[in-house]
Amino acid sequence: MFTKESIVVKTWVRAVQNGVKSFEDVPVLHNLRDCVSTILEEGEDNV
């Protein structure tokens, strides 16, 4: 399971925030999309 501190989560959040990837590109893998979505919705910039 992934957490907000997981490097994979942080990498995907940065990719989406920077416009390199869209949220739809985030793989459906365990709770990865949930973690990425939560961080993006909270507007956290320090990933």
Residues 14-31: tens digit of each pLDDT: 999 999 999 999 999 999
Asked if 12 and 21 count as a contact pair (C-beta separation under 8 A), the reply is: yes
Residue 1 pLDDT > 90? yes
Confidence of residue 39 (pLDDT cuts 50, 70, 90): very high
The first and second tokens of residue 43, run together, are 């507007």
Other CB atoms within 10 Å distance of the CB of residue 38: 14
Q: Give the Cα separation of 28 and 18 in Å (integer).
A: 20
Torsion, CA 5, CA 40, CA 14, CA 10, rounded to 10? 10
Whole-model pTM: value is 0.90
